A and B are shown apart, each in its own frame.
Chain A
Amino acid sequence: MKMWKTLLAAAVLAVATATSAFAARTDLVIGIPLEPPHLDPTAGAAAAIREVTYANVFEGLTRIGPNGEVLPDLAESWTISDDGKVYTFKLHTGVKFHDGADFSADDVKFSLDRARAENSVNAQKQLFAAIDKVDVVDPATVKVTLTHPQGSFLYNMGWGDAVIVSPKSADTNKEKPVGTGPFKFESWAKGSSITLLKSAHYWGAPVFLEKVEFRIVPDAAAAVPALLSGDIQAFPFFDPDSVSQVKDDPRFKVVVGATEGETILSINNKQPPFDKLQVRQAISYALDRKAIIDGASAGLGLPIGSHMSPANKYYVDLTGRYPHDVAKAKELLKEAGLENGFKATLKLPPPSYARLGGEIIASQLRDVDINLEIIPVEWAQWLDQVFTKKDYDLTIVSHTEPNDIDIYSRKDYYFNYANPAFNKVIADLELTSDEAKRKDLYAQAQKILADDAVVGFLYELPKVGVWDAKLQGLWESAPVPANDLTKVKWSE
């Protein structure tokens, strides 16, 4: 009896303290599923690094906005020479790094030269491949000369990997990141949380939050009680399968947006019988995208017919190219001399889209007598066996890099696909800055991939965010991996 009284008193107290917090809040705890290995976006591919630092701690010449658009950042404006090869950036003045060092054109030159250097371990070194030289004109002006005109250059400079760092702190950014952004790094309790504080001398529009903590919550089952108890107020990347537990709760907002993750059934194009176009097309006809999206992404993914996000301005709808048609698939297999079907393996990395999607795809392909043996693998094994050694028949993976249709033109990429016509389109794209022409070239590229049925195009990975209903300004979609907090605030 006494215990119940104590419990009751404690509960009343908890409610009382919860309701007294009415003043506009300036703190925020964000849940992230994966801990970043370190915090230097110029030295690692992990999306988690960007989910903490992008736009918050580090800034680039340009940046990518919430809808994938290129916005000015440290560069206030720029001019492009008539031949499209020389970019002159006018920089903001009065900008300081968090350690007090002044930002100038020298830092831009240092950062770009460092990223493209011989011994650079930048995970997206190809972004800088077109740069011929970087010249400091004056402290507020920098001139970048390219070896050839590059349509995507300004976009490339907006990636997290292209942020501007200071020579003083570049080598220690992994542990103690120092940037020019509105938030400065405060502390990192390994395995637990990373804390950022508002920077006192930020050059741009002031931010609303004073303190932000990124708390690492690896288990999707733990995310729901963490939200319900109020310990964590936002999960920008929430597990789609757990959404049903919070979607009817008025205290929370469930926001479904798009990522740049084209989720595909990758096919080893050199491995017989997948080297035959009919076989690959038969697989495309055999796939029922709707069932896969329902089963593997809680019905939230958007179908794709080629390697491009429906949110992308260059997107062409090719989902009708191979409607779900078992009879047609069987016919194509017969043409390929495989009327009795065949056996193959399907290697699945750990994410649930792959593991769940794999089961469904295996059963759909069984309908056309393709019997798949499912082999679950870890990420490290996947990168080793599938991606590097190309020892696979089929696999499922989400390609999350933005605007990455060019991967199909890469030599020795794990698809083992080589089509000179496609490579020509990509090469032309690289050299074209005219928007109308670019749009046309992107359309051609998407169409070639669909016609060749290079892989099974499934759906665009959805981004499901759940956060406190009073919280405003978080990104709906994820055109680049980021949790941009520059506009985030609590409403009254």
Chain B
Amino acid sequence: MTAYLLKRLAISLATLVLASIVVFAVLEILPGDPARLMLGMNASADQVELLRNQMGLNAPLLLRYLHWAGGLLSLDFGRSYTYSVPVIDLVRERLAVSLPLALIALALSTVIAIPVGLFSASRRGRAGDTISMGAAQLGVAVPNFWFALMLIYVFAVWLRLVPAGGFPGWSAGIWPALKSLLLPAVALALPQAAILARVTRSALIEVLNEDYIRTARAKGLPYRAVLWRHALRNAMIPVLTILGLQFAFLLAGTIIIENVFYLPGLGRLVFQAITQRDLIVVESVVMLLVAAVIAVNLVVDLSYAVVDPRLRSRQ
């Protein structure tokens, strides 16, 4: 087990180094000059050059990479070109929105998807299955920004239960902050739940055809117990894989929902940084996300071992 862990750790580190080189190189190739963007169309070329020097953009590429990567090692993510504040502060502010949002959405999606998947799989081919899988198909197909706007019109404009958007900050109190994350979480969770329900269903159907299920039924266990204790547990591996992917997506891939609800999340930070060529922010945030994805994958791998004892003994 220790050897396995060490090996996994080494691979993760190598991935991080490789990712840092790719991320840095790709962003440097991108056309566009952050200094010109800041000074606009009326500034002279000399002035742009002056600002480039002040921002340290004229140093050799390798030197800048080493400076940046070295900073990452000591958890110094550099300073934003446009905001001129430490990148880590920006990320911390954004994570205060994105992390709770991702967790709520993930929890919602799981709570909806697992029972629906179970229900569908156990009524395979019958009306209940067709209806719930039809609904899931719809959930995948409906564009989430449209769904989000419908939620806003019903719950914010018509019923006025929640704000139409924005985030008051956790300093405004737990409830006002949570309230503003509620609709976005639902809008994010539904398509994810639809995907997860379908995965759960097909994984369960496969498991339900296994011999040991028949054996369990034959020895007199009630269907419900078989479903929950034997089938679901064995069907968990693909479900966990999808959950891991969804978490990574929910953390930073939610730019559209963040825009519709004008939430100051991580996705919008990256998007804005790209359009303003705030390269240092993009590079550092992407690296943090790479690290997060690697960590999530590691956790998912370890959780396989928890749900499946066979994987434990093999190592």
Contact B164 A192, beta carbon cutoff 8 Å: no
Given known pairs A191-B94, A383-B36, A388-B33, the reply for A121 and B47 (CB within 8 Å) is yes
The interface residues of chain A lying within 8 Å CB-to-CB of B156 are 225, 229, 231
Contact B275 A380, beta carbon cutoff 8 Å: yes
- In the docked arrangement, what's the CA distance between A476 and B175, Å? 38
Contact B164 A380, beta carbon cutoff 8 Å: no
- In the docked arrangement, what's the CA distance between A225 and B39, Å? 34
- In the docked arrangement, what's the CA distance between A191 and B262, Å? 8
- In the docked arrangement, what's the CA distance between A229 and B42, Å? 40
Interface string of B266-309 (1 = CB under 8 A from A): 00110010011100000000000000000000000000000000
4 A-B pairs closest in CB distance: A45-B40, A380-B32, A191-B264, A14-B160
Q: Which of A214-222, A268-276, A287-295, A428-436 contacts B (4 or more CB under 8 A)?
A: A214-222
Q: B225 in the interface, Cβ–Cβ < 8 Å? A: no
Q: B17 in the interface, Cβ–Cβ < 8 Å? A: no
Interface string of A36-68 (1 = CB under 8 A from B): 011000001110000000000000000000000
The interface residues of chain B lying within 8 Å CB-to-CB of A385 are 31
Q: Which of B79-87, B107-115, B121-129, B230-238 contacts A (4 or more CB under 8 A)?
A: B79-87
The interface residues of chain B lying within 8 Å CB-to-CB of A193 are 166
The interface residues of chain B lying within 8 Å CB-to-CB of A336 are none
Contact A121 B51, beta carbon cutoff 8 Å: yes
What residue of chain A has the Cβ atom nearest to residue B94's Cβ? A191
With both chains docked as a complex, state the minimum distance between the C-beta of B65 and any C-beta of chain A, in angstroms.
Answer: 21
With both chains docked as a complex, state the minimum distance between the C-beta of B240 and any C-beta of chain A, in angstroms.
Answer: 32
- In the docked arrangement, what's the CA distance between A46 and B43, Å? 12
With both chains docked as a complex, state the minimum distance between the C-beta of B88 and any C-beta of chain A, in angstroms.
Answer: 13
Contact A384 B259, beta carbon cutoff 8 Å: no
With both chains docked as a complex, state the minimum distance between the C-beta of B68 and any C-beta of chain A, in angstroms.
Answer: 20
The interface residues of chain A lying within 8 Å CB-to-CB of B29 are none
- In the docked arrangement, what's the CA distance between A189 and B97, Å? 12
Contact A226 B43, beta carbon cutoff 8 Å: no
Q: A421 in the interface, Cβ–Cβ < 8 Å? A: no
Name the one of A121, A228, A379, A404 contacting B50, with C-beta atoms under 8 angstroms.
A121
Contact B43 A123, beta carbon cutoff 8 Å: yes
The interface residues of chain A lying within 8 Å CB-to-CB of B149 are 221-222, 225
What residue of chain B has the Cβ atom nearest to residue A413's Cβ? B41
Q: B209 in the interface, Cβ–Cβ < 8 Å? A: no
- In the docked arrangement, what's the CA distance between A11 and B277, Å? 45
Contact A14 B159, beta carbon cutoff 8 Å: yes
Q: B176 in the interface, Cβ–Cβ < 8 Å? A: no
Q: A401 in the interface, Cβ–Cβ < 8 Å? A: yes
Contact A222 B163, beta carbon cutoff 8 Å: no
Contact B169 A189, beta carbon cutoff 8 Å: yes
Q: B157 in the interface, Cβ–Cβ < 8 Å? A: yes
Contact B259 A192, beta carbon cutoff 8 Å: no
Q: B37 in the interface, Cβ–Cβ < 8 Å? A: yes
The interface residues of chain A lying within 8 Å CB-to-CB of B90 are 190
Contact A45 B42, beta carbon cutoff 8 Å: yes
Interface string of A239-274 (1 = CB under 8 A from B): 000000000000000000000000000000000000
What residue of chain B has the Cβ atom nearest to residue A15's Cβ? B160
Q: B145 in the interface, Cβ–Cβ < 8 Å? A: yes
Contact B259 A218, beta carbon cutoff 8 Å: yes
For chain B, residues 116 to 175, give those with C-beta under 8 angstroms from any C-beta of chain A. 145, 149, 152-153, 156-161, 163-167, 169
Contact B54 A124, beta carbon cutoff 8 Å: no
The interface residues of chain B lying within 8 Å CB-to-CB of A229 are 152, 156-157, 160, 163-164
- What would 20 more interface pairs be, CB under 8 Å, given A10-B160, A35-B272, A229-B163? A7-B159, A10-B159, A18-B160, A38-B84, A120-B47, A175-B84, A190-B83, A190-B264, A191-B268, A215-B262, A219-B262, A221-B145, A225-B152, A225-B153, A225-B156, A381-B32, A383-B41, A384-B33, A384-B36, A401-B42
Q: B76 in the interface, Cβ–Cβ < 8 Å? A: no
Q: A387 in the interface, Cβ–Cβ < 8 Å? A: yes
Q: B57 in the interface, Cβ–Cβ < 8 Å? A: no
Interface string of A1-43 (1 = CB under 8 A from B): 0000001001100110010000000000000000101100000
Interface string of B49-64 (1 = CB under 8 A from A): 0110010000000000
With both chains docked as a complex, state the minimum distance between the C-beta of B13 and any C-beta of chain A, in angstroms.
Answer: 31
Q: A174 in the interface, Cβ–Cβ < 8 Å? A: yes
- In the docked arrangement, what's the CA distance between A136 and B50, Å? 29
- In the docked arrangement, what's the CA distance between A123 and B85, Å? 20
- In the docked arrangement, what's the CA distance between A225 and B260, Å? 10
Q: B28 in the interface, Cβ–Cβ < 8 Å? A: no
What residue of chain A has the Cβ atom nearest to residue B167's Cβ? A192
24 residue pairs of the A-B complex, CB under 8 angstroms, read A11-B161, A37-B38, A37-B276, A44-B40, A120-B47, A175-B85, A191-B94, A191-B269, A191-B272, A192-B263, A215-B166, A217-B262, A222-B152, A222-B259, A226-B165, A229-B152, A231-B166, A378-B32, A380-B34, A380-B275, A383-B32, A383-B36, A384-B33, A384-B36
Contact B261 A222, beta carbon cutoff 8 Å: yes
Q: A119 in the interface, Cβ–Cβ < 8 Å? A: yes
With both chains docked as a complex, state the minimum distance between the C-beta of A463 and any C-beta of chain B, in angstroms.
Answer: 19
Q: A77 in the interface, Cβ–Cβ < 8 Å? A: no
Name the one of A119, A123, A219, A231 contacting B42, with C-beta atoms under 8 angstroms.
A123
The interface residues of chain B lying within 8 Å CB-to-CB of A18 are 160
The interface residues of chain A lying within 8 Å CB-to-CB of B260 are 219, 221-222
Given known pairs A7-B159, A11-B160, A378-B32, the reply for A38 and B51 (CB within 8 Å) is no
With both chains docked as a complex, state the minimum distance between the C-beta of B243 and any C-beta of chain A, in angstroms.
Answer: 27
Contact A174 B160, beta carbon cutoff 8 Å: no
Name the one of A120, A222, A384 contacting B165, with C-beta atoms under 8 angstroms.
A222
The interface residues of chain B lying within 8 Å CB-to-CB of A174 are 84
